[in-house]
Amino acid sequence: YLANVYGSALLLCWPCVLYSIYLDTPEGYVWTEETLAQTRRNLTVAVDWITRQAEAYRAAPKLYYDQGEGDLTAFVSCPVELTEDATSGNDFYDYVDTLTAAVDTDAIARAYGTSSIGYLIFVPAAGCSYSILHYLEDGEYYLNEFSCLYLYDVYEDPGTFEGPAVYAHEILHLFGASDLYEDSSDVYVTPELTGYVARQWPDAIMYY
């Protein structure tokens, strides 16, 4: 069964759906027309960039994603405060698992001709975006792979929107790309490798 090997987002060379789930709360973490438009612009730029980069490797991925038409989008009122601390850790991962399990994947497969689905969890707050992936040793856990994407860049001045480069970086994680910077959690990303990448490709999306 492919999902046990790859997780929900299969190979980048195959058609894939990026399903957007927008979290909000009654306490003020909400989406506006402006912030939704900014998020969708970022996503469009990221997907276009990934597609162009793949062409250099003679791959032609087809990524279907939310463009404001509604069929690849869900808005969910979240029971926890949408701070960075509350939207990371096992409790939150389990919560996202319940959200992704409720998505009608059969309908998506019929409409788009693919069962490869990566989930994008959008949080209208500041934070450090991250991805949760499936590894073979996880067994039945984390099969539904997702990227948690914050609206605001926690490393910049308050109110600074996260940029499309971060979206592209996190989406590429869903297809197996590793962090190539120092302190990467991948055991084979050694200081020698990060040094080589820094010298040869200082602007690499997974390095910087």
- d(CA 155, CA 202) in angstroms, rounded, equals 20
Helix (H) and strand (E) counts in the chain: 6, 6
Which pLDDT score, from 0 to 100, does residue 26 have? 81
Which pLDDT score, from 0 to 100, does residue 1 have? 40
The predicted model scores a pTM of 0.93
DSSP secondary-structure letter at 77? E
Blockwise average pLDDT, block size 10, the chain, 208 residues: 70 93 90 96 97 90 91 93 92 95 95 96 96 85 93 94 96 90 81 88 87
- d(CA 111, CA 60) in angstroms, rounded, equals 20
Q: Output the six-digit token pair for 11.
A: 């190979």
Residue 36's CB is within 10 A of a number of other CB atoms, namely 19
CA distances from 139 to 1, 5, 95, 123, 133 (A): 12, 9, 18, 28, 12
Q: Where are the beta strands (DSSP E) in the chain?
A: 16-24, 63-65, 73-77, 117-127, 130-132, 146-153
- d(CA 134, CA 117) in angstroms, rounded, equals 13
Q: Which residue has the tokens 């010298």?
A: 199
Q: What's the angle, vertex CA 66, arms to CA 62 and CA 70, rounded to 5? A: 130
Q: Which residues pair with 21 in a beta bridge?
A: 74, 121
Which pLDDT score, from 0 to 100, does residue 44 have? 97
